[in-house]
Amino acid sequence: MSKFDLRDISDRLSRSRDTEAVVFEFLGFLQAMRHDWRAGLAFHDAGQDRLVYTYERHGSRLVRRDLALPVSQLPTRLVRKFFHPSAFFNQTDRRTLIGQLFTGAPHFEPELADAAALRLLTPQPNWQSCVCLPLADHEGVIALLVLTSEKHHAFGAQVVGELIPVKNMAALAIMQHHYRSTNGHEAADNGDRGAARVTAAELNDRIHRLSHESSELEEDNRAKGLKVDALMREMEMLDKNSTHYKQELERLQGLLGALEQQTAQATQELSEAYSQLNVSQARSAEIQRTLVFMKGVADALGQRHDPQEFASNVVAWFCEHFGVERCSLMLLDPSGETLQIAAQRGMDASLTPHIKVRVGQGVSGWVAHHRKPLFVRAKQDASGAGRSGREDYNSDSFISAPLVYNNRVWGVLNLSNKSDGQLFDDADLDRAQLAGAMAAVVLGTTDASRRSVSYNGAMGGGVTVRG
């Protein structure tokens, strides 16, 4: 509901005896509305196009100040909106200004930058909110209402809507007294006092109609206010829902972060498991190849062999199945102190008959003495035993494996110069040891058989076999 009692205002303004009384009541209504409001009413002289004097109310006194302020010195937007409307509406056959004011209800809110131009009109020098409303008749603006406040945003749309009916009533009351003062004497001189009373009655009727329209406008504003309140409540509800959704989103983001961390950890563990699986599969494949290899060794050594060709067959078989270009089989002489090459491949054949290695010396002597294999991937891996100074090797990688059977060393197997200069690996070492052990079994078994035959032959001359 409006803070103004429009009927009371209409009655008081209509009963005012002159223009200053109307201004006194009008400014009093406005300043009683809010304690922080200050109001000023500046009258416009259309002939001079300037504001000629202004009224302010201080308590029970009405103070008038002369101005002589040209309209052109006011803020440009205010001038275009109220005093020179053709520039604002961009029409040549525009409606009357009073019609535009009653239908469009224009008002002007200056900015703080306009304070200097409005200095002579504003009743407060240091204002934070200001609104200007025109009081007009059919010919133009008759006065400019200036309201100020020390509070920010003091004149919202609803407040201005409540002010418009009051200032329109004041404008009509001022026009009524102006008409009386200018035309009343002419009517008396011409004996036409009845016409003046009719005109006054018409103005009174217009005031009452305006009061009715103001009431309707007030009701419309109240309905709009209810809609605004409903929208505000809806906005508060949406804000609460938004806060809830935001909290839920943050919670879900936290869960998602934890899930991503768990996924990353599971991925890492799965990657490690795949790596271990690949290693296990590689080991299993190597074991399978080793089993196939040993089956081949067993098949090769299980065949009948000429003792004179056994060493050469062993070397040839190793070269083929290990993919090496240099291989030698060294056996202990009967004294058990010296190693001699029984068969070889990839070495100078003219030198091999003269190569003898004492047990404990060189690579082969070290292997025979310690009964341990020597596996060197690179030259710096060799320790405790040195290689020959010859440079006819395609890499520094080699394997020397002892041939041990029945707690006796029978010889040493040397492998080097793998195809394409590749290095030996742990699987090659395992296969060389296994194959060497099986070769040692054959060597030991053959030697035992030979000795048994020699012993039986020596004893046979004194034995008589009876049938």
Q: Which residues of 406-439 are buried (b: 16+ CB within 10 A; e: fewer)?
A: eeebbbbbbbbbbeeeeebeebbbbbbbbbbebb
Instruction: Give me the pLDDT at residue 379, please.
Output: 60
Same domain flag for 162 and 76: yes
Does some domain include residue 264?
no
Same domain flag for 10 and 144: yes
Does some domain include residue 296?
no
Same domain flag for 55 and 167: yes
Does some domain include residue 298?
no
Q: Tell me: the pLDDT tens digits for 381-440?
A: 555 455 555 556 777 889 999 999 888 999 999 999 888 788 888 888 988 888 888 888
* In the block, residue with structure tokens 């048994």: 452
Name which of 281, 285, 315, 284 is nearest 300 in CA terms. Answer: 315
Same domain flag for 308 and 238: no
Number of domains in the chain: 2
Among 242, 273, 288, identify where a domain stops.
242
Does some domain include residue 271?
no
Q: Tell me: the pLDDT tens digits for 148-172?
A: 999 998 998 888 888 888 888 888 8
Same domain flag for 188 and 327: no
Q: What is the mean pLDDT of residues 198-210?
A: 67
Does some domain include residue 225?
yes
Instruction: Give me the pLDDT at residue 97, please.
Output: 45
Does some domain include residue 73?
yes
- Cα(340)–Cα(260) distance, integer angstroms: 68
Domain extent for 60: 6-242
**Largest distance between two CA atoms of the chain:** 194
The answer to whether the beta carbons of residues 324 and 423 sit under 8 Å apart is no
Same domain flag for 332 and 197: no
Does some domain include residue 467?
no
53-62, 97-106, 163-172 — most confident range: 53-62
β-pairing, 356-358 with 338-345?
antiparallel
Same domain flag for 328 and 224: no
Instruction: Give me the pLDDT at residue 382, please.
Output: 54
Average pLDDT taken over every residue of the chain: 80
- Cα(419)–Cα(430) distance, integer angstroms: 19
Among 242, 265, 280, identify where a domain stops.
242
Strand order of the β-sheet with 129-136 is 61-70, 50-58, 37-45, 141-149, 129-136
Among 190, 208, 242, identify where a domain stops.
242
Flag whether pLDDT at 43 surpasses 80. yes
- Cα(366)–Cα(364) distance, integer angstroms: 5
Q: Tell me: the pLDDT tens digits for 244-256?
A: 888 888 899 999 9
Does some domain include residue 433?
yes
Same domain flag for 186 and 333: no
What is the Rg, in whole angstroms, of the alpha carbon atoms belonging to the chain?
A: 62
CATH of the domain at 142: 3.30.450.40
Name which of 195, 211, 196, 200 is nearest 175 in CA terms. Answer: 200
- Cα(124)–Cα(37) distance, integer angstroms: 9
Same domain flag for 224 and 137: yes
